[in-house]
Amino acid sequence: MTATNTVSNVKPLLFQRQRKGKPKQVHIYMNEKDQERLSALVERIEPHTQTQVFRGALQLLEALAAEYDAGSQFLIKRKGKKIEPYAIFGEE
């Protein structure tokens, strides 16, 4: 079985409802370029809401930071290339 390169592979992990307590509203100011990037992600990822994109991004960043703190190394294999280290949190 081979893995496919789609966002749907990570959706179940990133978008699980984990509400605890009453939600609080957050205001974020973005430049136009960052707003375009957010809009593109909202269109690409389901469900199509900015809140879910931010929630998923926070969950992913938390998981990556925990792995980094535990001494894990991140690797990437781009199509047709060898596996190599991938610096997410500065120099690795």
The answer to which of 14-18, 48-52, 62-66 has the lowest mean pLDDT is: 14-18
Q: Does residue 18 carry a pLDDT above 90?
A: no
pTM over 0.75: no
CA R_g for the chain: 16
Neighbours of 56 (CB within 10 A): 20
39 three-class SS: helix
> What is the per-residue pLDDT for 46?
76
Q: How large is the average pLDDT for residues 8-18?
A: 55
Residue from 42, 56, 83, 88 nearest 69 by CA: 88
Q: How large is the average pLDDT for residues 6-23?
A: 61
